[in-house]
Amino acid sequence: MRIRTFQRGAAVAAALTVGLALTGCSSGGGSDDGAASGGAEESCTNEIAKPDATQVSVWAWYPAFEKIVDQFNESHDDVQVCWTNAGQGADEYNKFSTAIEAGSGAPDVIMLESEVLPTYTILGSLEDLSAYGASELESQFTPGSWSDVSSGDAVYAIPVDGGPMGMLYRADIFEKYGVEPPTTWDDFAKAAQDLRDAGYEGYITNYPTNGNALNYALFAQAGWAPFEYDASAPETIGIDVATPESEQVLSYWKDLVDKDLVSTDDAFTSDYNTSLVDGTYAVYLAAAWGPGYLQGLSDADTDATWKAAPLPQWDEANPVQVNWGGSTFAVTTQADDKEAAYEVASGLFGTMDAWKSGIDDAALFPQWNEALQSDYFVNKKYDFFGGQQINSDVFLEAANGYQGFSFSPFQVYAYDQQTQALYDMVENDGDAATALQTIQDSLVQYAQQQGFTVQ
């Protein structure tokens, strides 16, 4: 016993020493001695081209982002970007929340999806950029994306990319079984049945109970607006989740699930990823970043033929466009030099060169009109879709039709509740109205607990 304890102690001591040594090493050697503005000395993933300039720390998880950072640093003499990938989505948000609570440790500029902006504006963690001239940029961005980042006169982030939705489908499967790709949701349900009747063994698509923002978008297409929230009156919130619109959409999917025409696998697992590309699902209801996601998946059918089409509509005469995902750059209130941070937030994706790289290497969908309307983007042919010009065919119209969406200031909680309620509905054969009412009740209770006046 004694000896074992001692050995354990020695091991712990050794581990501590090594740990201290490593920390010492990274903080001493990793960063340059230039004027780091982030308070603590940070180590960057990229090389700083001009060490004497003001440094602005950036957290972002865009693919192939280093090239864009290097372009920015080479073209700027007064400001240099020090970029770190702090994890994707929730991983980064957890770190940011911790840094907010701690009062230090947040980057100067942070990549946030538009759906979490209210979560951080209510904590007072994001700088109002209108003081630095951001309001003048409004005309340079799509109206939907601008409405997502602004609240009255205040502007809390600069839009970067968006996720207007479309329908990606396996043209070869539809052709093989002699079914026409649907344009309305009624057609979609019929096509699901026709494919099955014709002998197709997969599912027309998957309805993930953890499909957070996707499910929001599908509800929103029927006119669902669950939250009424304005950053200028942060104590009040309107919560209206269980509405006829959401019930209509959820009942529609529940019906397809009951008939076993649509699967209910969790999204973003390796099972789901494989099913997307191996012919298990005939349709991928996708955002504009979806094609990039598909191309990165392995085990794909080699003879698959993908095509893009507009998202099916409830009412073909009055099409409604929706958005799934999309990200922005915000300046945190912890930033030392906010002027410089704003220059970075608005400038990183502020050139056509940066966007060429964003479009080609990272499959981003620009919200910046100059890139969005450029011939380069509009007429780009995608090999993955057999040369189809998916932007002009599908996504540009979807992006222009998007009007913006109001998220809650506790969006992660709202998503978790939704996942739970939808899963219970599917698993225990519940009905749509009960599931939506469960979400509604838990959100109202939560909001009251947090000190909101619920309207």
Partner 1 sequence: MTTSSTTVGAPEAGAPAGRARPGGRRNASTSTIDSKRQWWGWLYVTPFTIVFLLFLVVPLAYAFWMSLHNKGIATGGQSVFVGIDNYTRAFTDPIFLAGLARVAKFVVVMVPIQIGLALLCALVLDTLATRLSKASRLLIFVPYAVPAVIGALMWGFLYSPRFGPAGDIFGLFGLDAPDFLSSSAIFGSLVNIVTWQWVGYYMIILYSALRTIDPSVYEAARIDGASGPQIALRIKVPMVSSSMVMVLVFSLIGTLQFFTEPTVLRSVAQGAIPSDYTPNMYAYSLAFSYSQFNYASTIAFALGIFVFIGSYIFLFATRKQSGLK
Residues at the contact surface with partner 1, assessed by CB under 8 A = 1-2, 4-5, 8, 13, 16, 90, 93-94, 97-98, 100-101, 119, 122-124, 209-210, 234-235, 237, 266, 269-271, 274-275, 409-410, 412-413, 416, 419-420, 422-424, 426-427, 447, 449-452
Alpha-carbon distance of 171 to 368, in angstroms, equals 31
Q: Which is nearer to partner 1, 93 or 224 (CB)?
A: 93
* Length of the chain as a residue count: 455
- Kindly state the smallest distance separating residue 16's Cβ from partner 1, in Å: 7
> What token pair was written down for 197?
């009747």
> CB count, 10 Å around CB of 298?
9
Q: How far is the CB of 355 from partner 1 (least distance, A)?
A: 33
Cβ of residue 277: shortest distance to partner 1, in angstroms?
13
Q: How far is the CB of 236 from partner 1 (least distance, A)?
A: 8
DSSP state of 184: B
CB of 120 to partner 1, least distance (A): 9
Distance separating the N- and C-terminal Cα atoms of the chain: 63
Q: What DSSP state is assigned to residue 373?
A: T
166, 309 in Cβ contact below 8 A?
A: yes
- DSSP H helices in 150-258: 171-176, 185-197, 212-221, 244-258
Shortest approach of partner 1 to residue 23 CB, angstroms? 14
Angstrom distance (rounded) from CA 416 to CA 433:
18
Nearer to partner 1, 123 or 320 (CB): 123
Q: Name 154's bridge partners.
A: 151
Percentages helix, strand, coil for the chain (3-state, rounded to 5) are: 45, 15, 35
CB of 419 to partner 1, least distance (A): 6
Contact predicate 156/346, CB 8 Å: no
Q: Nearer Cβ to partner 1, position 272 or 377?
A: 272
Q: Which is nearer to partner 1, 97 or 183 (CB)?
A: 97
Q: CA–CA separation, 399 vs 397, rounded Å?
A: 5
CB within 8 Å of 185: residues ≥ 6 apart:
252, 312, 313, 314
* Minimum distance, C-beta of residue 106 to partner 1, in the bound complex (Å): 13
- Pick 123 or 433: Cβ nearer partner 1: 123
Q: Which is nearer to partner 1, 97 or 243 (CB)?
A: 97
**Burial of residue 318, with CB atoms counted within 10 A of its CB: 0-12 exposed, 13-18 middle, 19 or more buried:** exposed
Query: Alpha-carbon distance 328 to 137, whole Å?
Result: 14
Report in angstroms the alpha-carbon separations of 41 from 82, 103, 181, 362. 11, 16, 55, 29
Shortest Cβ distance from residue 284 to partner 1 (Å)?
A: 17
Which residue's CB is nearer to partner 1, number 13 or number 198? 13
Tell me whether residue 191 or residue 414 sits nearer to partner 1 (CB atom): 414
Nearer residue to partner 1 within complex by CB, 349 or 410: 410
With 0-12 / 13-18 / 19 or more C-beta atoms within 10 angstroms meaning exposed / middle / buried, residue 190 is: middle
